[in-house]
Structure 1
Amino acid sequence: MPYRATAPFDWAAILRLIRSEFAYMDARINPPSSMHRLTEADMASTAENGEIWVVGTPPLACMFLTLQADSLYLGKLAVSASTRGKGMARALVEVAESRARALGLAAVELQTRVELLENQAAFQAMGFVETSRTAHPGFAQPTSISYRKAVQAR
């Protein structure tokens, strides 16, 4: 069951999970993932100014939630290879939806890279709709796809 990570937390364990599970992207995406610049201090700041949700101790899955104008941004969704296919990503997305509703927000938003077709398919299967494609600085072609999922008030 997902729980919210608050200080003090083993930020190094989450960083290891993200680096391990995002490593496969290195040979597939350009520019490199922002996870290479992510630090434990960044995560502590995210937890103070947003939310970090985790499954398991040590972490088997995680996501970062950041408040935007009318939505909740879901970032750094990572699930350990040993536990994929068990619904952890879906459970975390459901937490994001619940948090967006609780905060009175209209949607959950996220981004994935254009090269990561399996991520695109997974997010679409969870009800996310593509809203735009953007290019990182210095790139003429799109490098990222933005997705949005409206949340209904309950």
Structure 2
Amino acid sequence: MTPPRRARPEEAAALRDLVRAAYALYVPRIGREPAPMTDDYAARIAAGEAWVVEEDGSLLAVLVLEDFPDSLQLDNIAIAPAAQGRGLGRALVAFTEDEARRRGFAKVTLYTNEKMVENLALYPRLGFVETHRAPQAGFARVFFEKAV
């Protein structure tokens, strides 16, 4: 995997398209578009929160990281459907942990939808601990954290 780099302003539409493709399978499960599908990627890029992984000029993955007072929030990981199953998600989680330490945070936090059962199985295998479940913005969310 090439190292993640900050997304550029001219890539906002490409980030949105990649995220929409990656999350499309969840729409029938959740009954509506997951939050990452409707995010403002131009604003995320302007805030310095969006990262990408590319290969041969094609975007393979999008990562959104947000500074919280006590943690680095892993807001979104999206892998292009054609690039899934290659370990990019795990590599981006490891990158997030390194980035949290670099920024001086002691933990990474994240949440997922309770109907994204793949994530509910994956995050504990990566060392994340479920902290709670709660409705938020009309979604049934499951919250995790990991000390870094």
> What range describes the TM-score normalised by the shorter chain of this pair?
0.7 to 0.9
TM-score by length of 2: 0.88
Looking at structure 2, the residues matched to 84 and 32 of structure 1 have their Cα atoms a distance apart, in angstroms, of 20
Identify the residue that residue 51 of structure 2 maps to in structure 1.
53
TM-score by length of 1: 0.85
Question: Structure 2: which 5+ residue stretches go unaligned?
Answer: none
Looking at structure 2, the residues matched to 51 and 28 of structure 1 have their Cα atoms a distance apart, in angstroms, of 28
Contact 1:110/1:147 (CA < 8 Å) preserved in 2?
yes
Identify the residue that residue 150 of structure 1 maps to in structure 2.
147
Looking at structure 1, the residues matched to 65 and 6 of structure 2 have their Cα atoms a distance apart, in angstroms, of 11
Question: Structure 1: which 5+ residue stretches go unaligned?
Answer: none
Aligned pair count reads 145
Q: Which has the higher strand share?
A: 2
- CA deviation vs aligned residue, 1:115-148 (integer Å, no higher than 9, x gap): 1111111111111110110113568xxx110010
State the 1:87 CA deviation. 1.0
93 and 36 in structure 1: CA distance in 2 versus 1, 3 angstrom threshold: closer
Identify the residue that residue 34 of structure 1 maps to in structure 2.
35
Looking at structure 1, the residues matched to 71 and 46 of structure 2 have their Cα atoms a distance apart, in angstroms, of 18
- CA deviation vs aligned residue, 1:88-127 (integer Å, no higher than 9, x gap): 0011111111110011101111111111111111111111
